[in-house]
Amino acid sequence: MGLIQNVLAVIVVLGLLITFHEFGHFWVARRCGVKVLRFSVGFGKPLWSRHDRHGTEFVVAAIPLGGYVKMLDEREGSVDPDERDQAFNNKTVWQRIAVVSAGPLANFLLAIVAYWALFVAGTTAVAPVIGSVAEDSPASRGGLEAGQEITAVRGDSVRTWDEINLKLIAAIGASGELEVQARDEATADPRTYRLPVQDWLVRQDPPRPLPSLGLTPWQPDIPAVLGQVIEGEAAAEAGLQVGDEVVAVNGEPVTDWMAFVDRVRASPGEPLDLEVRRDGERRSIILTPGSTELEEGVTIGYIGAGVEPVEWPDEYRREIRYGPVAAVGQSLSRTGEMTVLTLGAIRKMVVGLISPSNLSGPITIARIAGESARSGLESFVSFLAYLSISLGVLNLLPIPVLDGGHLLYYLVEVVRGRPVSDQAQAVGLRIGLALVGTLMLMALYFDLMRLW
């Protein structure tokens, strides 16, 4: 069932992103008087197609990993003399720039709309209150203490752990001090703390900002009560059911959910004698965890079960909601922040501050899309917005075969007053195909390594 959900989620995500991207090209091309021959979502054999009154063929194809808008162009075939004024290559350089840039801009617009909808609908987040501080860690040496609420990172205010993680990720490669503001109580004024760091998160795969600082978020006591049991996994095979409370493992009392998780993770393939409370009665169940391997090569136990959610105290909850007008500014700000973060990550990957193994391909996208869909509409829309921004940024990179490569040619044409030669474009095309092909193979390789 999880695999099916992942596949359906990635089809929905990629379908939306590709459709918006190609519609951007299509819409502006029509406004510039360019004849569009085909609008295709996906590659390969058409599953569905129809023609409109302008002669454009709309296609949904079998492979949902891309799409394209095919326009009338004398460089790609013969053009009827009566239609030459509708050919893309005969439009002004500024019209061609508008058509090519419209696709990535449509992706940014989609992200803005998605964030706007989230801000208007409102979200409930967990306050960033510190649960514990590891000894001899940057947080400890900087003076942070358990029970404090973090209010700002590097001068920017934060309200949730997600916002804190984004600010910390953006600081990858920093050396010196990370400035953090925190307060002891909700009514207290925040104080500034300076956390010493050196080559912050450089080549850490994957980056783990909070553990690297020595911070653990506060959370309420979570009883070891099962809220989810996945069919076909170890927990279901042993006979565990939703609502079971694990009170002991091998005769040792279980204090909370994390204590149970720690025992399971430490026991791959080893039978565990569980004492379980079900409907007020205690019973013994033998559970043998399966095993899974982390990216660091460490093997841990896995049973395919989740915890029953608990209610967070009101003082640890933050309601984030804006009116329709105020949400516009917030969505623009969030889109800009995520765009800068993506560009920074690309730059740091090129210079070696971030490991290339953080590249993600279709398998990882499918997994995260499925997980975000199962986590709720808010998570799914947030993931959709971030992926749309990433698609827009990547397409604007000055690499031939991408939109950014075409824009580079047209900007050179603006400066020189004449188009880039066909020979130069052919060489650039081969270089661009090699670069994009290499990146795709690397992303697929790292996907498979994560899967295994």
Q: Which residues have a Cβ under 8 Å from the Cβ of 171 and sit 6 or more positions away?
A: 154, 178, 200, 201
- In contact, 144 and 180? CB cutoff 8 Å: yes
The bridge status of strand 176-183 relative to strand 191-197 is antiparallel
* Measured CA distances, 66 to 11, 36, 43, 62, 107 (Å): 11, 18, 7, 10, 14
Strands (DSSP E) contained in 290-366 are 290-293, 299-302, 305-307, 317-320
What count of other Cβ atoms lies within 10 Å of the Cβ of residue 385? 25
Q: Which residues pair with 284 in a beta bridge?
A: 275
Q: Which residues have a Cβ under 8 Å from the Cβ of 451 and sit 6 or more positions away?
A: 363
Residue tagged active-site, from 22, 149, 163, 275: 22
* Count of positions (residues) in the chain: 452
* Ordered DSSP codes for 83-102: GGGG-GGGS-HHHHHHHHHH
Tokens 């947030």 locate to 382
Q: Which residues pair with 252 in a beta bridge?
A: 249
Query: Three-state SS for 247?
Result: strand
Any long-range contacts for 184-191 (C-beta under 8 Å, 24+ apart)? 184/145, 184/147, 184/148, 186/149, 186/315, 190/151, 190/152
CA distance 138 to 146: 14
| Residues 234, 235, 238: CA angle, nearest 5 degrees | 85
DSSP 160: S
- Can 145 be counted among the known catalytic residues? no
- In contact, 279 and 288? CB cutoff 8 Å: no
Q: Provide the residue type at 391 as one letter.
A: L
Nearest to 204 by CA among 242, 178, 171, 180: 171
Catalytic residues: 22
